[in-house]
């Protein structure tokens, strides 16, 4: 009888540790996006103003997007009007709205601005796909005895944080260090924009 009571409490502890780790990583990423915006704001005064201005506004949009989603973890999984709403669905919607803002409202003219926006949209798209997959996982497993962390959640944690790190690195370094943008330009046959 003791082991039966121990297993659910152990699973709850694992979920609480995962949630705490996710919240800490979210706060670190928000701070790093703020840091990249501030670094690019200072760069605007010293070097190529147009290039730094583009990257600054991209950094600012990313910081504000992540900052506005900071209290999302307080929402619990619920079913309003028969529709499952999970934290992952809300993060998915945040990523989609951020992608739309980056593509529609942020004008970039410099080469650095173009490849930074490319990386941001690519990484946010991959993040959105992972959040949607996790939302579907929660919807399917919610209310069953199988609900709890498993391999997909671990893959999601490392992938999303790696993608966040790539976005921050691109905004800080202003370099196509993975070569994905150059590869895309060669495959599509794009010319230099500036």
The ranges assigned to domains in the chain are 2-188
Q: Report how far residue 37's alpha carbon sits from residue 33's, in angstroms, rounded to the nearest whole number.
A: 6
Instruction: Enumerate long-range contacts of 178-183, CB under 8 Å, 24 or more apart.
Output: 178/119, 180/118, 180/119, 180/122, 181/114, 181/115, 181/118, 181/119
pLDDT tens, 127-143? 999 999 988 887 777 65
pLDDT tens, 39-83? 999 988 877 777 788 999 999 999 999 998 877 655 555 555 445
Predicted confidence at residue 84, as pLDDT, reads: 64
Among 1, 113, 3, CA closest to 52: 113
Residue 85: φ, ψ to 5°: -120, 120
Q: Model-level pTM greater than 0.75?
A: yes
Percent of the chain with pLDDT over 70: 75
Mean pLDDT (the chain, rounded): 80
> Cβ of 181: how many Cβ atoms within 10 Å?
21
């Amino acid at each position: 009888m003791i082991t039966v009571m121990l297993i659910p409490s152990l699973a709850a502890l694992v979920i609480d540790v995962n949630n705490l780790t996710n919240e800490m990583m979210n706060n670190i990423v928000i701070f790093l996006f703020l840091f990249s915006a501030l670094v690019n704001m200072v760069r605007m005064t010293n070097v190529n103003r147009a290039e730094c201005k583009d990257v600054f506004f991209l950094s600012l949009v990313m910081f504000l997007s992540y900052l506005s989603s900071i209290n999302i973890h307080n929402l619990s999984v619920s079913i309003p009007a028969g529709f499952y709403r999970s934290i992952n669905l809300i993060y998915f919607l945040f990523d989609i709205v951020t992608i739309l803002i980056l593509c529609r409202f942020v004008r970039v003219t410099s080469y650095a601005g173009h490849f930074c926006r490319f990386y941001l949209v690519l990484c946010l798209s991959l993040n959105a796909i992972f959040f949607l997959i996790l939302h579907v996982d929660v919807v399917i497993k919610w209310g069953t005895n199988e609900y709890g962390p498993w391999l997909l959640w671990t893959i999601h944690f490392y992938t999303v944080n790696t993608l966040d790190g790539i976005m921050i690195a691109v905004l800080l370094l202003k370099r196509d260090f993975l070569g994905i943008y150059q590869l895309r330009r060669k495959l599509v046959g794009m010319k230099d924009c500036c």
